[in-house]
Amino acid sequence: MRNLDRNGRSAITPALTLAMAMATAGLSQTAPAEGVRSASMLANTCAGCHGTDGASAGLYMPSIGGMDKRYLISVLDDYKTGLRPSTIMGRIMRGYSDQEISAIAAYFAGQSWVSTDRIAEAAMVRTGEQVHEQACASCHEDGGRAQEDDAPRLAGQWAEYTLYALENCRASGARCKPREMGERVMELSDAELASLAHYYEGQK
């Protein structure tokens, strides 16, 4: 039976008010948040181009599983802001919040790297190794296997994608990130870039 005040109106007691507040709090803590996507769910939207868990099967689509989280965040942010040119990545990234971009990067960083199983051409690998030692080894150590926030893994990446990235960097010149890479790549010929890309593909 409801409590009534002297005027016959329903009266909500302090105890009932507290019970209602506790019930509401409990619901807010246990009910799933609508619209919140998990890291794996977010990453699944990338699989169409970058393969399952970031292991790409496409010549011009880079493998990203196992890459440094800080590097991935930097790249995705650059796509989102338009600093890094793209045909579709910029439009895709503008649909994600900074928190979601960080979650995507963390997911792929937590995957194992999978190198291409294609055998690189031996002659180009030998020439590319010389170019690597002269122009790239100080940042891309261990044949391109080492990685930092501004230096991605190159070893085992598709040669076609690596060549595409190198050519874009050379065209950007000092605007390429990091700037030191742009300055060095500007000095390399088409043949040297191609041999460098095949050298890295040959490093597993």
Tens-digit pLDDT string for the chain (204 aa): 444 444 444 444 433 333 333 333 333 333 334 455 788 899 998 999 999 999 998 899 999 999 999 999 999 999 999 988 888 999 999 999 999 999 999 999 999 999 999 998 999 999 999 999 999 999 999 999 999 888 999 999 999 999 999 999 999 988 888 889 999 999 999 999 999 999 999 998
* CATH 1.10.760.10 location in the chain: 39-109, 122-202
Task: Give residue 21's pLDDT.
Answer: 36
* Residue among 87, 107, 98, 133 nearest 39 (CA): 107
Strand segments, DSSP code E, in the chain are none
CATH of domain 39-109: 1.10.760.10
For the chain, the straight-line distance linking the first and the last C-alpha, in angstroms and rounded, comes to: 76
Cα torsion 118, 157, 103, 36: sign: negative
d(CA 157, CA 195): 13
- Identify the DSSP state of 91: H
pLDDT per residue as tens digits for the range 185-198: 999 999 999 999 99
The answer to whether the beta carbons of residues 115 and 56 sit under 8 Å apart is no
Cα torsion 137, 142, 148, 152: sign: positive
The answer to whether the beta carbons of residues 148 and 138 sit under 8 Å apart is no
* Residue among 128, 172, 170, 176 nearest 150 (CA): 176
Q: For residue 66, which amino acid is it? A: G
Phi and psi at residue 103, in whole multiples of 5°? -65, -40
Cα distances (angstroms) measured from residue 25 to each of 16, 28, 85: 14, 5, 46
Look up the pTM and report it.
0.78
Task: Give residue 197's pLDDT.
Answer: 97
d(CA 140, CA 151): 7
Task: Give residue 9's pLDDT.
Answer: 47
Q: Is the domain covering 122-202 a CATH 3.40.50.2300 domain?
A: no
Task: Give residue 174's pLDDT.
Answer: 83
β-sheet bridge partners, residue 151: 148
Task: Give residue 149's pLDDT.
Answer: 87
